[in-house]
Amino acid sequence: MPYANETHHGRCDGPDIETPGVQIRTMTQDDIERVVGIDAEWSQQRRPNYFALQIKRAREASSLHISLVAEVDAIVVGFAVGTVYYGEFGLLETSATIDAIGVQKRFRGRSVGRALLRQLRLNLAALRVTTVRTEVSWDDFELLGFLQREGFKPATRLCLEAILDPTTPESDGAE
């Protein structure tokens, strides 16, 4: 199966009629500003260092990190960043996470997210990944609905967290 950067010189605009005009390619350093802007539309914060690190990781360990962008009319309008795991978290399966995904608000409803996930699935299938996971804020109904339409459902595992106080290293998070 082709990786995004091996298809049509960095583009994947195949015959899928559900995503006409949306082209997917591997994220590059030149895409950071657009990706950071799209991410900030939704998160209300700018994370240029995060995305620069994701691109660096994807270049250095392409079988572990995947960073894609979606273009419409040669303009980056969406992105997806993922990580592959080979047996982490006590699981025996090869799995992946979608660490970040976003589509510019004015391009919502134009199958940009669908095209990104389609290419991400192709890339992950080539790596023999059997499961894709992600985390979503429980009240982000729009993203939850999109992911449900794309075949995601609640996992059988719980994501747990503990609040740490960096000023008190022995803190156990309990109040």
Residue spans of the domains in the chain: they are 4-149
Structure confidence by residue, pLDDT tens digits, 29-43: 899 899 999 999 988
Q: How many CB atoms lie within 10 A of CB 30?
A: 10
pLDDT in tens, 148-168: 999 999 988 888 888 998 888
Inform me whether the pLDDT recorded for 143 exceeds 80.
yes
- How far apart CA 81 and CA 66 sit, in angstroms, is 6
d(CA 16, CA 5): 18
Percent of the chain with pLDDT over 90: 47
What integer is the mean pLDDT of 85-111? 87
In CATH, which of 3.40.630.30, 3.30.70.250, 3.90.1150.10, 3.90.550.10 is domain 4-149? 3.40.630.30
- % of the chain beyond a pLDDT of 70: 82
* pLDDT for 175 beyond 70: no
